[in-house]
Amino acid sequence: MTLLSVSGLSLGLKHHEELLVRDLNLTLERGEIVGLVGESGSGKTMGSLALLGLLPPAVEVRAGEAALDGASLLSGSGGAVHRRTGDITMIFQNARAALNPTLRIGFQIRRVLTAVRGMPRREAEAEAIRLLGRVGIPGAARVARAYPHQLSGGMCQRVVIAMALAFQPQVLIADEPTTGLDVTVQAQIFDLLRDLVAETDASVLFITHDLAAVAEMCDRVSVLFAGQVMETAETVELFERPRHPYSQFLLASLGAQAPERADQGESETADVGVVAEDRGVDFSLPGCRFAHRCPHVFDACNEFPPLFPAGERHHYSCFLGREIPVVTAARS
Amino acid sequence: MNRFLLRRTLTTLITLFGIVTVVFFLVRVLPGDAAVLRAGPYADAARLAQVRAQYGLDRPLLEQYGTYLAGVVHGDLGTSTVSSSSVTYELMGRMPASLEIGLYAVVLACLIGIPLGVLAAAREGGWIDRVVRLVAAAGSAMALFWLGLLLIYFLFYRLRWFPGPVGRLPSGVDPPATITGMYTVDALLEGQPDVAWQAARALMLPVLTLVIVLVAPILKMVRGSMTEVLATDYVRTARAMGLSRREVLFRDGLRNAMLPVITAIGIVFGYMLGGNIIVETLFSWPGVGRYANQAIKNHDLDALQGFVILVGVLYVLLNVVIDICYGLLDPRIRLGRRSN
Amino acid sequence: MAFTDTVRVLRSRAPRVRGLASPRKHPMAAVGLFLLLVYVVVAIVGPAFVGDPLRTSAADALTSPGATHLLGTDRFGRDVLARAVVAARMDLLMGLVIALTAAVVGSVIGVVAGYAGGSVDEAIMRVTDVILAFPGFVLALIIVAVLGDGIPNVVVAVAVAYSPYFVRLTRSRALAEREREYVDAAALSGNPRWRIALRHVLPNSLGPAYTQATLVAGWAILDVAGLAFLGVGIQPPTAEWGVMVAEGANDVLTGAWWTALVPGALIVLLALAFQMVGDDVQGSRR
């Protein structure tokens, strides 16, 4: 049953014509982890901020709808919505920066409990310590009295996750939560997130540029480029049969291989054709945002491509339709 | 924190020492005979010899420096050539008058500037924000002496709302007994509210002049600091976790934005110490600023020297206090950087 | 702060007008520059178009602004407009010279401190600290009091008070530039250290100094006028706006506002013009 649905969401800078995010479509079911993949500046963070009503003052919603459990998320001007417990929250990339350096850890978790869940102070104090323990922080009581600068990056991210738990969201947006953390810590955070999803039946929108993380964590994934959704599919499907030239380029350039193919000895280094260097996207042009780099570009690409189906729960935004071969060039 | 305090004390002492040294040698740099300068162009040889002996001008320079330094450490800033009394005594006598203007001005500037700056940042792009930014920009280009005259012209000469620049009290009103030296405070303590009111009225124009100029840097600093804080990741996270704008404004915003503002208040104090001279001269106010001005006119070098040292010392001490406050409030400094 | 970066990156990708920054994007700086231009023109050619600033006339003393004397006359019957225009040269020039001097001297010292490092750097920093221990105006005051009246002394005094700003600015840039490759390259080609410092590091450390110099020019004019108002540095009958304000201060009490308030307004307006240019450029650099 669909928990979060975003349709046709478009965002733009105020007083400017061009769109930052264009026709974003996403769905999230209960208990799912969906990945949102793209390079920096592709609009992944911006789109998510829109869902929380936390867009920066310079950005506005131009079109589209977003609803959580049926209730619209976009009503009210950005920032005016006082968020209630049980809906949607977000954790960000730089965890230490996400914590107020002059407030104690325990207090920062406690205030979410008192403000949003109406918990009395005594209870909130105890609950905060319990949550710190739940996210795997040793010596929770001591850490609760500490300040953020005294903790490591990984610990800070756990604290932020504890804050999110205090909020008890139905949907958690995790925006590059492990960038900058070392690999072992990264794995621990992933495990933590997976456990929490299993426990609470919450859904996670996992934003990242790291395809390996996607392979590990996500049930489904959407590929974003310059604010345009290029392809959406189940993870395995995307890795095995990427349809959009951009997805193919991503997978090829990052050397990602679907495990089965590697076993069969076929090189998945696809013959994607030459993808032009990034000269910067011209956001004012109406057509496909990848057109200026796409090796298969042709006339139709001057119009904005709708989503074409490519299989069960697999769509991509490209006029090549079924004409482009599935990418597996056996190298001799 | 202790290491921080120690370092700070050390650098402060060096700076204070530097101030006294610089001032001493600066004044000695004067071309011409120091004795002539002190005694005046009409002094005869006998008078000159007397002056030389009295001020130790015939001693080697380093010895003069040593004597002076020793004197300063004991609070002796030399003797005024005009009044022949101790410079320290004269400065201390005039301090309360200057403090009265200065303190009221700084406090008022903060009381007005801080809330307005916070409001401007909270409603970024709104009309308050625009007005605040305009005032902050205009204030940085303001000339105290012109502003004072402008206010005197409109508010005294034309509108008669305030008394003219005749000093701390109108003639015919006796000052209260000296407790702090500040007339408003002393009069209230003495149970003389009418005297306190007269003193307050006399203060209004000079204080207003200073406040207008001092508010500008405060507005700029508060607004800037607050805007920065409101754009941080931790504010964004707090909002994402369901905390309301108002809660975040007061809890995260104020706390964190005020830290750099404290430093700004130190700068404002500096402006005030410098601007004091002009304001006191303009309003005929018997404070240390006007004393310094007269000292220049009279070539009263010791007096001028004493004034500059006083100002330098005050400024340095104030900045030390501010740094300590900052250290106390910011846990990153207070607790040192340790990772668990 | 990822999202503000994204917004900025995306904004910068928007098609831009080639050439000089459009005045529409920087209204403040445009207005400021226009004002400065007016001042410069008036300073250069103004004196040819106004009456004799030195002509006194007891009969005409303290006439309010009107047809014959556009800005009135002062206590001695001198035409305020004429005197103010002639003073423009003095004030404008002083502001620029002081800013330039402070910038040049301060920048060189700053680069030396940043590039040399070690005890040289420490020593320079301590000295700078002592200079900054005084409010600028007070320091300038005592330096002029010591050196005596006269324009060069005032220039030196105020320049000394502002040099530390530049020392600090260029020092931090120099510290960064020092690590760059071209410095190594220059060293390898056998350049002596002083030459590397002055010919290579200095020009690249000057960036923030330009804006600061603009702001300092405005403040310097305020300081010079302030000193003159106190009777320090520049004395009557020299035509300088601060002197004019001092001479006219008492007139305000009798209602003759134009003798003091007009020259004062000119000072503030000029300082404002510099401020507008400096602030706007500073803002857009961020």
| Alpha-carbon gap: C174 to the closest alpha carbon of chain A (Å) | 29
Residues 6+ positions from A15 with CB-CB distance below 8 Å: none
* Cβ neighbours of B235 in C, within 8 Å: none
Interface of C with B in 175-204 (CB under 8 A): none
Report the share of chain A in percent with pLDDT over 70. 83
C222 and chain B in contact, CB less than 8 A: yes
- Facing residue for B233 by CB, picked from A98, A103, A167: A98
Instruction: Provide the CA A120 distance to its chain's centre, in angstroms.
Output: 34
| Alpha-carbon gap: B78 to the closest alpha carbon of chain C (Å) | 17
Report the share of chain C in percent with pLDDT over 70. 89
Q: What is the pLDDT of residue C25?
A: 66
Q: What is the pLDDT of residue A331?
A: 31
- The answer to whether the CB atoms of C10 and A283 lie below 8 A apart is yes
Our CA dihedral for B178, B180, B183, B189, rounded to 10 degrees, sits at: -80
Instruction: Provide the CA C41 distance to its chain's centre, in angstroms.
Output: 18
Residue in chain B lying closest to C283 (CA): B224
Chain A residues at the B interface, defined by Cβ less than 8 Å, are 52, 54, 57, 79, 82-85, 89-92, 94, 97-103, 108, 111-112, 115-116, 143, 146-147, 149-152, 155, 160, 163-164, 166-167
- Residue tagged 């459009």 (tokens): C22
Tell me which of B31 and B83 has the higher pLDDT: B83
Amino acid at residue number C100: L
Amino acid at residue number A208: T
What DSSP designation does A71 have?
Answer: E
What DSSP designation does A176 have?
Answer: S
- The answer to whether the CB atoms of B332 and A101 lie below 8 A apart is yes
- The answer to whether the CB atoms of B240 and A94 lie below 8 A apart is no
Our CA dihedral for A221, A226, A228, A234, rounded to 10 degrees, sits at: -10
Residues 6+ positions from A148 with CB-CB distance below 8 Å: A96, A99, A100, A101, A105, A156, A159
| Alpha-carbon gap: A156 to the closest alpha carbon of chain B (Å) | 11
- The answer to whether the CB atoms of C6 and A45 lie below 8 A apart is yes
- For β-strands A59-68 and A71-72, DSSP reports them as antiparallel
Interface of B with A in 312-331 (CB under 8 A): 329-331
C230 and chain B in contact, CB less than 8 A: yes
Q: What is the pLDDT of residue A266?
A: 38
- The answer to whether the CB atoms of B233 and A94 lie below 8 A apart is yes
| Alpha-carbon gap: B190 to the closest alpha carbon of chain C (Å) | 34
The contacts found for A181-189 with CB under 8 angstroms, 24 or more apart, are A181/A153, A181/A154, A181/A157, A182/A154, A185/A153, A185/A154, A185/A157, A186/A213, A188/A136, A188/A154, A189/A154, A189/A157, A189/A158, A189/A161
Q: What is the pLDDT of residue C164?
A: 93
**Closest of C207, C191, C188 to residue C199, by C-alpha:** C191
B152 sits in which H/E element: none
Rounded Cα distance, C119 and C117, in Å: 7
Residues 6+ positions from C48 with CB-CB distance below 8 Å: none
pLDDT digits (tens, 9 = 90+) for A163-178: 998 888 889 999 888 8
Query: Residue A250's pLDDT band (boundaries 50, 70, 90)?
Result: confident
- The answer to whether the CB atoms of B242 and A143 lie below 8 A apart is no
* Cβ neighbours of B124 in A, within 8 Å: 57
Our CA dihedral for A119, A124, A128, A133, rounded to 10 degrees, sits at: -100
Kindly report the average pLDDT of chain A as a whole number.
80
Angle formed at CA B174 by CA B172 and CA B179, multiple of 5 degrees: 165
- Facing residue for B311 by CB, picked from C135, C249, C261: C135
Q: What is the pLDDT of residue C284?
A: 52
Residue to substitute from C7, C8, C9, C10, interface A, most A β-carbons within 10 A? C10
- Facing residue for A93 by CB, picked from C2, C7, C15: C2
Rounded Cα distance, A109 and A141, in Å: 13
Residue A201 has pLDDT above 70, yes or no: yes
Q: What burial class does residue A121 get, using C-beta atoms within 10 Å of its C-beta: 0-12 exposed, 13-18 middle, 19+ buried?
A: exposed
- For β-strands A33-37 and A59-68, DSSP reports them as unpaired
Residue to substitute from C1, C4, C13, interface A, most A β-carbons within 10 A? C13
Query: Residue B38's pLDDT band (boundaries 50, 70, 90)?
Result: low
Instruction: Average the pLDDT over C229-252 and give the result.
Output: 87
Instruction: Average the pLDDT over B207-214 and give the result.
Output: 92
Residues 6+ positions from C67 with CB-CB distance below 8 Å: none
Rounded Cα distance, B91 and B281, in Å: 16
C159 and chain B in contact, CB less than 8 A: no
Kindly report the average pLDDT of chain B as a whole number.
83
Residue C4 has pLDDT above 50, yes or no: no
Residue to substitute from A14, A17, A46, interface C, most C β-carbons within 10 A? A46
| 3 state SS for A107-137 | HHHHHHHHHHHCCCHHHHHHHHHHHHHHCCC
Rounded Cα distance, C156 and C169, in Å: 20
Instruction: Average the pLDDT over A91-110 and give the result.
Output: 91
pLDDT digits (tens, 9 = 90+) for A215-239: 888 889 988 887 788 888 888 888 8
* Cβ neighbours of A149 in B, within 8 Å: 331-332, 337
- Give the predicted TM-score (pTM) of the model: 0.80
- For β-strands A33-37 and A203-208, DSSP reports them as parallel
Interface of B with A in 137-156 (CB under 8 A): none
Interface of B with C in 214-243 (CB under 8 A): 231-233, 236
Give all chains having 3 or more CB-to-CB distances under 8 Å with chain B.
Answer: A, C
Query: Residue A262's pLDDT band (boundaries 50, 70, 90)?
Result: very low
Burial letters for B116-152: b for 16+ Cβ neighbours within 10 Å, e otherwise? bbbbbbbeeeeebbeebbebbbbbbbbbbbbbbbbbb
- Facing residue for B240 by CB, picked from A57, A90, A94: A90
Report the share of chain B in percent with pLDDT over 90. 13
Residue A4 has pLDDT above 90, yes or no: no
Residues 6+ positions from B210 with CB-CB distance below 8 Å: B101, B102, B105, B109, B144, B272, B275, B276, B279
**Cα within 13 Å of Cα(B218), Cβ side:** 27
Residue in chain B lying closest to C253 (CA): B157
B240 and chain A in contact, CB less than 8 A: yes
Query: Residue B333's pLDDT band (boundaries 50, 70, 90)?
Result: confident
Q: DSSP secondary structure string, A269-328?
A: -----PPPP-----TT--S-TTGGG-TT--GGGGSPP-PEEEETTEEE--TTTT-SPPS-
Give all chains having 3 or more CB-to-CB distances under 8 Å with chain A.
Answer: B, C
| Alpha-carbon gap: C12 to the closest alpha carbon of chain A (Å) | 10
- The answer to whether the CB atoms of A282 and C4 lie below 8 A apart is no
* Cβ neighbours of C13 in A, within 8 Å: 280-283
Amino acid at residue number C81: L
Worst-scoring range by mean pLDDT, B3-17, B33-47, C36-50, C166-180? B33-47
Residues 6+ positions from B155 with CB-CB distance below 8 Å: B161, B162, B205, B208
**Closest of A245, A259, A174, A171 to residue A212, by C-alpha:** A259
pLDDT digits (tens, 9 = 90+) for B276-329: 899 999 998 999 999 988 888 877 777 888 888 888 888 888 888 888 888 888
- The answer to whether the CB atoms of A13 and C6 lie below 8 A apart is no
| Alpha-carbon gap: C68 to the closest alpha carbon of chain B (Å) | 24
Chains B, C: CB pairs < 8 Å: 132
C118 and chain A in contact, CB less than 8 A: no
Among A47-61, B156-170, B221-235, top mean pLDDT goes to B221-235
Amino acid at residue number B75: G
Rounded Cα distance, A206 and B124, in Å: 32
Largest CA distance in chain A: 70
- Facing residue for B145 by CB, picked from C139, C147, C245: C245
Report the share of chain A in percent with pLDDT over 90. 14
Tell me which of C86 and C49 has the higher pLDDT: C86
Q: What is the pLDDT of residue A326?
A: 46
Residue B40 has pLDDT above 80, yes or no: no
Q: What is the pLDDT of residue A126?
A: 93
Tell me which of A41 and C227 has the higher pLDDT: C227
Contact A247, A223 (CB under 8 A): yes
Interface of C with B in 110-139 (CB under 8 A): 126-127, 129-130, 133-139
Interface of B with C in 31-50 (CB under 8 A): 31
Angle formed at CA C244 by CA C239 and CA C247, multiple of 5 degrees: 125
Kindly report the average pLDDT of chain C as a whole number.
81
Q: What is the pLDDT of residue A77?
A: 47
Query: Residue B85's pLDDT band (boundaries 50, 70, 90)?
Result: confident
Instruction: Average the pLDDT over C171-191 and give the result.
Output: 81
Q: What is the pLDDT of residue C182?
A: 80
Query: Residue B264's pLDDT band (boundaries 50, 70, 90)?
Result: confident
- The answer to whether the CB atoms of C260 and B149 lie below 8 A apart is yes
- Facing residue for A57 by CB, picked from B124, B232, B245: B124
Query: Residue A265's pLDDT band (boundaries 50, 70, 90)?
Result: very low
- The answer to whether the CB atoms of A49 and C6 lie below 8 A apart is no
Residue in chain A lying closest to B234 (CA): A98
- The answer to whether the CB atoms of C7 and A40 lie below 8 A apart is no
What DSSP designation does A26 have?
Answer: E
pLDDT digits (tens, 9 = 90+) for C71-109: 888 778 788 888 888 889 889 999 999 999 999 999 989
Contact C65, C52 (CB under 8 A): no
Per the structure block, which two tokens stand in for B247? 């809660």
- Facing residue for A97 by CB, picked from B233, B255, B259: B233
Worst-scoring range by mean pLDDT, A10-19, B209-218, C213-222? A10-19
